[in-house]
Structure 1
Amino acid sequence: MPDEDKTEQATPKRRQEAREEGRVAKSVELNTAFLMLAAVVFFYFTASNFGEKIKDVLIYFFTLASNFEITLDSFDILVKRISGFMFSILLPFFIVMATIAFLINVVQVGFYITPKAMEIKFDKINPVNGFKNMFSLRSFGELVKSLLKASVMGYILWIFIQKNINSWSSLSKTNQTAVFLVMIKSMFLVVVYILIFIIFMAILDYLFQKYTFEKSIMMTKQEVKDEYKQMEGDPKIKQKIRSMQMEMTRKRMMEEVKKADVVITNPTHYAVALKYDSATMAAPKVVAKGINLIAKKIKEIAKENDVPIVEKPELARSLYEKVKLDREIPEELYQAVAEILAYVFKLKNHPAS
């Protein structure tokens, strides 16, 4: 289907389906940029402590070398000790990097495990498809982006060298410690300048990825309608179910008319059946009601089952409009209904009077 037909924003269901497939708005550039930023910040605040640990390790091994005989066994021990020292030194750094990487992904796409995204897709490892992807528009865009980044970073480095080369040339007259500190500071500044550019590019890349993702999941008007039908059900089927439910409710209601104490009517339009049991009810209850044809049917069933019918047009309308089915009548109608029920109960108890 042509892209120009996809004019509608993706529904929550379409977004969820894309997420389950692992298709989300995510920028690898943003991950790289913030990992680099975290590394720079980490080493900026821990450089002195980190340097002290490295110095201690070097002193330890230089001291050890004076009375250390290298054999196959001793070399294995030495390698294990070096690995252990380096692991203990770099462990905090690795923990920080892993935490930052996790948080960046959560911020971008949230925390969600997608089994479909982890499935092996053979079309991705197909050599023919791989060859096509090498010459795709996306690959060309990535190449242009990489060349642009390399060029800008190279330009930043060249400008920095040009501005500082004169001050560096005067370092030949200072001691080695001063030279080392100046060079470290210069390297740090270069990294900061390049990092600012990388973060800027990463933000642009994330916005671009967000835009392309939103475009990729857009829908046509017909797709939105079809999805709505799937979620809500076919309107015709829903109408049929609703009709069946109403019919069942009517049948139950007509059965209740047979047990009612009285039916109050407007002669031609309204009919409301009431029942009252002082032992179980706080007030009379509407057990059936209807207008026109349903009202006529209620009156017919009432006559067939000797349920008294009382014509009270205003009361019938009030009961129909104010009281829901199977609910007790409101307080303002107590007096009017009580009078009718008293009359009906009197007739039942004294039919000849």
Structure 2
Amino acid sequence: MAEGDDSEKTEEPTHRKLEKAHEQGDVPKSQEVVTFFTMGAVTLIVAFGASSVTHSLSGPLTAMLEHSGDLRLDGGGLLHLWYNVGDYIFTALLIPFLFVMIAGVGGHMIQHRPVLSGEGLKPKFSKVSPLAGLKRLFSAEALVNFAKGLLKMSLVGAVLFLIMWPQRRYMAPMVSMDLAELLAFTQDLSMQMLKAVLAILALIAIGDLMWQRHRWTQKQRMSVQEVKEEHKQAEGDPTIKAKIRQIRLERSRKRMMAAVPSASVVITNPTHYAVALKYETGMPAPVCVAKGVDQVALRIRELATSKEVPIVENPPLARALYASVDLDQMIPEEHYKAVAEVIGFVMRLKNRNADT
């Protein structure tokens, strides 16, 4: 099967796959949403800030025109004039421009949480490959974008025509209108067009956002093998985990065997169980320092014999202790009496041997 074949990607993306895509800057985003927010900001500026911008520009420019005869247009004078005009325009349009920029950023942020990734800056052969470029040019996404752009232009053009056509009779008299009347008429007409365009862009943005999210989700889908590999990476390779468990078990067993010589007694079932207990004066109860079954039990008995640790055969007690006490833990209360009898027997035996 070809690697990356979409027909193999039948599984929903995991949380880790989605997080990795976000870290690389691959997020669902619609440029139409950004366009809608930007156009919305322009509409608000025209509705509430046009008069302020006009006032900011009209005063200096009117004064400049009234004293146009005093303007120097030679060499540095013309350059100074351009600086002044640019300064007036920059000052008047700075806040509206920042507002439009903030709206554009808001259009991105409302779609996904902020992304800081340098992945898009990395050089990729596919970006300069003519073959890859042709594939992108004639891809389904390119065709959708073309159809979307054509639809947007058609709808906007049709709506603007429907708005402008009834106003055609007012176009000729505009040249004789008073400046204040002309500005009011222009603002009213602009607002009608902007509202209509904004309504169209809202519908296009909603549809495009749904499409982009659908396409992105489809792109993030995973094959069964990819899901298995991710789970293996998240949980660890079973072979390695088994090897680690084996190493830990071996180390634990070595530490346990090293503690057998310090035991006070080893209680056994002759062939299957062995439990080594340690008891010293002042201890609340005996502590299990080693235990095992079958081969491990045999090794405990052999080690106890070689180190002259007393061995007592008591099958019921050996089985009960093996099941109820863990390494380095004191024996349960219910076994105090039985173990005390065994340790007492061992101590009497040691004393008798010492006397002889």
Return the TM-score normalized by structure 1: 0.80
Counterpart CA distance in 1 for 2:112 and 2:284 is 57
Q: Give SS of 2:187's match.
A: helix
2:206 corresponds to = 203
1:147 corresponds to = 150
**For residues 168-207 of structure 1, what are the structure 2 equivalents within 5 Å?**
177-178=180-181, 180-207=183-210
Q: Give SS of 1:350's match.
A: helix
Q: Residue 36 and residue 309 in structure 1: after superposition, are their counterparts in 2 closer, same or farther (change >3 A)?
A: farther
Please say if 1:243 is aligned against 2:246.
yes
2:328 corresponds to = 326
1:184 Cα offset (Å): 1.2
Q: Give SS of 1:199's match.
A: helix
Counterpart CA distance in 2 for 1:270 and 1:81 is 100
Aligned-pair identity in percent equals 33
1:294 Cα offset (Å): 2.7
**For residues 228-267 of structure 1, what are the structure 2 equivalents within 5 Å?**
228-265=231-268
* More displaced stretch, 206-215 vs 125-134: 125-134
2:70 corresponds to = 67
Q: Give SS of 1:238's match.
A: helix
Alpha carbons 1:20, 1:115 under 8 Å: kept: no
Of 5, 10, 16, which aligns to 1:7? Answer: 10
Q: Deviations over 1:141-160 (max 9, x none)?
A: 22211111111122322343
Q: Deviations over 1:63-103 (max 9, x none)?
A: 55353322211221222222223222222233333333334
Of 33, 37, 40, which aligns to 1:37? Answer: 40
Counterpart CA distance in 1 for 2:71 and 2:228 is 80
Counterpart CA distance in 1 for 2:281 and 2:32 is 77
Supply the RMSD in Å over aligned alpha carbons: 3.7
2:119 corresponds to = 116
Alpha carbons 1:34, 1:199 under 8 Å: kept: no
Counterpart CA distance in 2 for 1:105 and 1:3 is 28
Please say if 1:339 is aligned against 2:340.
yes
Q: Deviations over 1:99-123 (max 9, x none)?
A: 3333443443433333331123343
Query: May I ask how many residue pairs the two structures share in their alignment?
Result: 349
Q: Residue 133 and residue 307 in structure 1: after superposition, are their counterparts in 2 closer, same or farther (change >3 A)?
A: same
1:300 corresponds to = 302
1:291 corresponds to = 293
Counterpart CA distance in 2 for 1:111 and 1:318 is 61
Q: Residue 262 and residue 106 in structure 1: after superposition, are their counterparts in 2 closer, same or farther (change >3 A)?
A: farther
Return the TM-score normalized by structure 2: 0.79
Alpha carbons 2:265, 2:343 under 8 Å: kept: no
- AA aligned opposite 1:10: P
- Consecutive unaligned residues in structure 2, runs of 5 or more: none
Q: Residue 159 and residue 249 in structure 1: after superposition, are their counterparts in 2 closer, same or farther (change >3 A)?
A: same
- Consecutive unaligned residues in structure 1, runs of 5 or more: none
Q: Residue 317 and residue 156 in structure 1: after superposition, are their counterparts in 2 closer, same or farther (change >3 A)?
A: farther
1:270 Cα offset (Å): 4.1
